[in-house]
Amino acid sequence: MPVGPAFTGILAFMGFTLWVSMSWSFSGKPGALNGPSQLQPVVKEAFSKPLFLTPSPDETDRLFVVEQGGRIVIVTGDQQQSSPFLNIADKVVAGGERGLLGLAFHPRYASNGRFFVNYTRAKDGATVIAEYQVSSDPDKASPQETVLLVIPQPYSNHNGDMIAFRQDGLLYIGTGDW
């Protein structure tokens, strides 16, 4: 069976990752940092199964936290906002490797307010890629959903999760075993 350039690239990346992992495990350390490093908690609030954290693309000091159960919560400074940016818990089946799994802001989010989510649909366990928009309140999403893609999933695990834009402006989706 012929191997295409994309598959070859994936194999090369996996080989490099394996090489880095093996070299770290043999040396006992991942490499030198540029000076001392200290971790400080940013928010002392409790989240419900947070899976992803991303800064606001509109250059405010907000952080968006994706919770597996179906909420996206905003943190400003060191305070979690009292109501979620988006709550689609009624559409999501959560647990194990399922739930609200990914968030990607459109490259021009600051001007168009569009963002995309990857979640596991409650009624059948399918992966859903959907588009939403921010409302007139920058801390609230409009509840109107546009479903872009539905991927039937044969199992309750390995459903993918990552969703991201690259510099080419295209949306990339990790789909798991599909």
- Could you tell me if residue 122 is inside a domain? yes
The residues, any chain, with a CB within 8 Å of residue 151's CB and separated by 6 or more, are: 126, 127, 128, 129, 175, 178
- Using CB atoms within 10 A of its CB, is residue 53 exposed (0-12), middle (13-18) or buried (19+)? middle
- Give residue 160's pLDDT: 76
120 belongs to a structural domain: yes
Q: What pLDDT, on a 0 to 100 scale, did the predictor assign at position 2?
A: 47
Q: Flag whether 19 is in a domain.
A: no
pLDDT of 8 > 70? The answer is no
Within a domain: 38: no
Instruction: Assess if residue 37 is contained within a domain.
Output: no
* Consecutive H or E run containing 18: helix 5-27
9 assigned to some structural domain: no
DSSP 95: B
Tokens of 30: 């991942």
Q: In the predicted model, is pLDDT for residue 35 greater than 60?
A: yes
- What is the rounded average pLDDT of the residues 41-70? 87
Give the mean model confidence (pLDDT) for residues 36-53: 79
End-to-end CA separation in angstroms for the chain = 20
If you write DSSP's letter for every residue of 47-63 in order, what string do you get? -SSEEEEEE-TTSSSEE
For 95, the domain range is 48-173
CA pair distance 146, 77, nearest whole angstrom: 31
Residue 96 lies in a domain: yes
Instruction: Extract the tokens encoding 147.
Output: 């479903």
pLDDT tens, 92-136?
999 888 999 999 999 999 999 999 999 999 999 999 999 999 999
Give the CATH number of the domain where residue 111 resides. 2.120.10.30
Provide the number of structural domains found in the chain: 1
Do the domain assignments include residue 16? no
